[in-house]
Amino acid sequence: MNDTFGRGERTTQAVFCVCADESVVSAANSSTEKLEGAAFFGEFRDYITADKRPQFSPSLKNAAACVALVDFDKDPELALQTSERLQQLFLKKISIVAVGSALDASLLLRAMRSGCTEYLSKPVKVDELQAALLRFRESMISAPNAQHSVGRVIAFFGAKGGVGTTTLAVHLATYLVRHHHKKTLLIDHKHQLGHVALYLGLKDTRYHFDELLRNVDRLDVELLNGFVIRHESGLDVIASPETATVYHESKRDELERVMDFLRREYDYILIDSFVGYQDSKLSIINQADEIYLVSTPDVASLRDLARLVESMSLSDLAMSKLRLVLNRSTAEDSLNAAQIQKAIHFPVSISIANNYLELMQAINEGKPILPSAKTAFNQQLLAWSNQIVLGHAEPERPAPKKRGLAFWRRSGDDRRMEPGAGRRGSLMGQEPDESSREFAKEKA
């Protein structure tokens, strides 16, 4: 794969080549340069099969639509396997173009059955490819439901143990389900003795995420359903083992394939992980759309937080996704969010109020606090979930209803001001003071 891959912005139409010669690559590049919204993402020099799968950049996977130009001249059988594999990986948001010097009728039919939607003969002409790209785009617009939504992966790491990472992940996941009605999966990525199922009051956690990774070659909806536990809120959970088990360090390819599958099944996938899992931590960082690093405002946590931010700063990709969460924050803390930002040279995105006693009761009962509770903790969690789903912290509010002259009502009773009673602009015959004016404006 050449280094034109990895563009940061979401692209309307991402075009790439597979095992194509220089003339095809040049035509693809020229076509996208003249077509607004399209971008050329480079070439894969090997065919893509079940045994040989490249690393797809996040920007390519998150593109609204993809177009693959697969060269059939080098190896028609592998080209057919590539077409089938791309269909499995990108589902209905990809259009596959078979490219070749001459395809006989039998091979052309097999190409169409494997997922190819167009055939272009060599040498590929720029205007013909542009016309094909426009047709693909129009078909996507005319049938928007054909594009499968792509879920977002949100990773949680604690600066150290005991800072409340699992508690926040559990509550945020239930808020996404209960308040925003999003199909959400919460994964306890602890190799043993994780607490997600415990905090949710779930039992019978026989199958775990490590086992799902080991069975990635068999992964389908039926297998996934065997691993998932459904919470009463509607949240799906993949739990951690409740006993000490053999450690399984997942391979990057295993995690990537599982995440690709889960993105097609859920709106949000939340992963409660641990910074000590070095190899899998890097894989999760690569796969995640957002990374939340949780700390509390104490010296030990802040020291570890500073070291972790420093470590992640070596990767531009990780830093672009990183968000800091200050948990159990109070007005009496020796260091506030602004001072912490100055010390670690990275902004604190979210501060969560200390609600320790109520959360301990919720954990002991296995019942997360409901979004309807009127506490500072709940309001901040709701703002957090709004930011994730809506892109801003404030909830969507209905248009205010017209209330006529309701502001003339006096506080404490339903009596209205009688016509002519008192001077103009007064309440019950008295000149309104400043607080009364403000009260009337607020009621209006």
Render pLDDT for 7-31 as a digit per residue (tens, 0 to 9): 434 467 999 999 999 999 999 999 9
Say what the pLDDT of residue 416 is.
Answer: 38
Distance CA 371, CA 174 (A): 8
Say what the pLDDT of residue 99 is.
Answer: 95
- The answer to whether position 2 is within a domain reads no
- The answer to whether position 226 is within a domain reads yes
Say what the pLDDT of residue 432 is.
Answer: 42
Is pTM beyond 0.75? Reply is no
Say what the pLDDT of residue 282 is.
Answer: 83
Task: Work out how many domains the chain is built from and give that number.
Answer: 3
Q: What is the pLDDT of residues 25-84, one digit of tens each?
A: 999 999 999 888 899 999 999 999 877 778 787 778 777 789 999 999 999 999 999 998
- pLDDT band at residue 146 under the 50/70/90 scheme: very low
Percent above pLDDT 70 for the chain? 81
Residue 315 scores a pLDDT above 90: no
The pLDDT of 381-396, averaged and rounded, is 83
Say what the pLDDT of residue 248 is.
Answer: 64
Domain holding 97: CATH number? 3.40.50.2300
- pLDDT band at residue 250 under the 50/70/90 scheme: low
Say what the pLDDT of residue 410 is.
Answer: 41
Nearest to 38 by CA among 16, 18, 71, 56: 16
Residue 303 and residue 421 in one domain: no
Residue 190 and residue 325 in one domain: yes
Residue 137 and residue 209 in one domain: no
Residue 169 and residue 264 in one domain: yes
Say what the pLDDT of residue 247 is.
Answer: 64
Determine contact, residues 302/340, Cβ cutoff 8 Å.
yes
In this structure, is the dihedral angle defined by the CA atoms of residues 402, 405, 407 and 412, taken in order, positive or negative? negative
Say what the pLDDT of residue 395 is.
Answer: 62
Distance CA 97, CA 78 (A): 15
φ and ψ of 62, to 5 deg? -90, 0
Say what the pLDDT of residue 91 is.
Answer: 67
Distance CA 410, CA 241 (A): 61
If you average pLDDT over every residue of the chain, what do you get? 81
Residue 339 and residue 410 in one domain: no
Residue 89 and residue 191 in one domain: no
- The answer to whether position 412 is within a domain reads yes
Domain holding 167: CATH number? 3.40.50.300
Residue 182 and residue 291 in one domain: yes
The pLDDT of 349-370, averaged and rounded, is 90
- The answer to whether position 184 is within a domain reads yes
Q: 420 or 276: which carries more pLDDT confidence? A: 276
Residue 238 and residue 385 in one domain: yes
The residue range of the domain holding 268 is 152-390
- The answer to whether position 7 is within a domain reads no
Say what the pLDDT of residue 207 is.
Answer: 81
Among residues 89, 114, 146, which one ends one of the domains?
Answer: 146
Residue 222 and residue 329 in one domain: yes
- The answer to whether position 58 is within a domain reads yes
The pLDDT of 186-204, averaged and rounded, is 88
Residue 327 scores a pLDDT above 70: yes
- Sheet containing 38-44, strands listed edge to edge, beginning at the edge strand earlier in sequence: 38-44, 13-18, 66-71, 94-100, 116-121
Say what the pLDDT of residue 433 is.
Answer: 47
Residue 440 scores a pLDDT above 50: no
Residue 314 and residue 229 in one domain: yes
Q: 435 or 376: which carries more pLDDT confidence? A: 376
Say what the pLDDT of residue 300 is.
Answer: 93
Among residues 102, 131, 146, which one ends one of the domains?
Answer: 146
- The answer to whether position 8 is within a domain reads no
Q: What is the pLDDT of residues 155-188, one digit of tens each?
A: 999 999 999 999 999 999 999 999 999 999 999 9
Say what the pLDDT of residue 26 is.
Answer: 94
Residue 434 and residue 303 in one domain: no
- The answer to whether position 327 is within a domain reads yes
Distance CA 264, CA 91 (A): 9
The pLDDT of 232-244, averaged and rounded, is 88
Say what the pLDDT of residue 55 is.
Answer: 77
Q: What is the pLDDT of residues 400-429, one digit of tens each?
A: 444 443 333 444 444 333 333 333 333 333
Residue 164 and residue 213 in one domain: yes
Give the Å distances, CA to CA, from 112 to 107, 116, 135.
9, 5, 17
Among residues 122, 146, 170, which one ends one of the domains?
Answer: 146
Radius of gyration of the chain (CA): 28
**Structure tokens belonging to residue 9:** 């912005």
Residue 442 scores a pLDDT above 70: no
Say what the pLDDT of residue 6 is.
Answer: 36
Residue 374 scores a pLDDT above 80: yes
